[in-house]
Amino acid sequence: MSAKVFDALVGQSDAIDVLQNVLDNREHLVQSWLFTGPQGSGRSVLARAFAAAIECENGGCRNCSTCKTVMNDQNPDVTVILPKESVIKVQETREIIKLADKFPNALKKRIIIIEDADRMNDASFNSLLKSIEEPPENTIWILLAPTLESIIATIRSRCQKVQLKLPNIRDIAQYLIKETGVDATLAEKAARLSRGHIGIAKRYVTNSDELAEREQVTRDVLALSDAVSGYLLAQTVVEKSKQYTSSAEQSTKRQATDFIDDYLQSVMTVYTDIAKLQARNAESIVNAQNLKELQHLAKNTSVDSNLRCINAIQTARRRLFVNVKLEVLLEALFSNLN
């Protein structure tokens, strides 16, 4: 039986089995880990759960103060590093290494979790290498990244690897029904629109305003018809992102960029839905609430034209993390998605 702290994970039985085996046989507990999986697969939840199970006297009971403080980022011996900028620079990495060298305050281990470790530049990776290769005796590293390839070979070859996958719509819907008590129709809609992201799906069923905003994204994209409508949508999105840029802090700038990136991923689902319908695969579409409009576009849009839109969105997402003017980037994109 797996530790209770893993109950919050959905559709990750293979990854949980790997970690539970290590917890049951502590001599196999290596000190450097790399968790990979798509955004929303639960990398950060799994990392916190694993850290809690390592530290908990009862192997991850979920109820003790240790489990609760670790899972809620309130324990001084388990540190979660969330990058403040689009790149984790070498100076920040050196500060993290200094922390890793310290003996734990009260728990068995000092655990360092680095979210978005793929944002490290080469200098940062090189700085981290020695500590990953030869960690202090009581330190455990857990790096999180979307893919193995996004971490340089010298780092990933020295880590124990655990791979996650996106849970399917049915598993997410069942989880939402069990955890929140919502009806099956709402649970399935939230599961579809979340793109497999458990946290987002849960917000959709508990916050009707957030769900309505997500549905509005699809309607706005379907309404694109010319350069003017593209310009207006770009202005709307940039204006919404400003809620995260009330200060000059790099962390707020990153939040604004992440907001737009998430928005563009939602936009992408419209065009991937069209592609699925063109391939006669209607069961897995995301925006099922707009099926008729999507079917019309699938019938009246060429496969090549739709693919061009998908490629344009992917290019825009990559350019987000470079020094670009957001208004110009989004205007150019939305004006051509019609």
Q: Give the pLDDT of residue 261.
A: 92
pTM: 0.81
Query: How is residue 21 written in tokens?
Result: 């085996």
Q: Give the pLDDT of residue 144.
A: 96
Cα–Cα distances (Å) from 149 to 36, 136, 161, in that order, read 10, 26, 12
Q: Give the pLDDT of residue 85.
A: 77
pLDDT digits (tens, 9 = 90+) for 139-156: 999 999 999 999 999 999
CA dihedral angle for residue 68, residue 165, residue 85, residue 203, rounded to 10 degrees: -60
Average pLDDT over residues 282-305: 94
Q: Give the pLDDT of residue 249.
A: 54
- Residue 48 binned pLDDT confidence (cut-offs 50, 70, 90): very high
Check if the beta carbon of residue 142 is closer than 8 Å to that of residue 35.
yes
Q: In the predicted model, is pLDDT for residue 248 greater than 70?
A: no
Check if the beta carbon of residue 9 is closer than 8 Å to that of residue 49.
yes
Task: Name the one residue in this structure whose structure tokens are 């003790």.
Answer: 64
Average pLDDT over residues 265-283: 94
- Residue 303 binned pLDDT confidence (cut-offs 50, 70, 90): very high
Average pLDDT over residues 43-52: 96
pLDDT digits (tens, 9 = 90+) for 178-214: 989 999 999 999 999 999 898 899 999 999 999 999 9
pLDDT digits (tens, 9 = 90+) for 10-37: 999 999 999 999 999 988 799 999 999 9
Higher pLDDT pick, 86 / 83: 83
Q: In the predicted model, is pLDDT for residue 110 greater than 70?
A: yes
Task: Tell me how far apart the alpha carbons of residues 222 and 290 are, in angstroms, rounded to a whole number.
Answer: 9
Check if the beta carbon of residue 162 is closer than 8 Å to that of residue 35.
yes
Q: In the predicted model, is pLDDT for residue 229 greater than 60?
A: yes
Residues facing 36 on adjacent strands: 145, 163
Average pLDDT of every residue of the chain: 91
How many Cα atoms sit within 13 Å of 296 on the Cβ side?
Answer: 5
Measured from the Cβ of residue 132, the count of other Cβ atoms closer than 10 Å reads 22
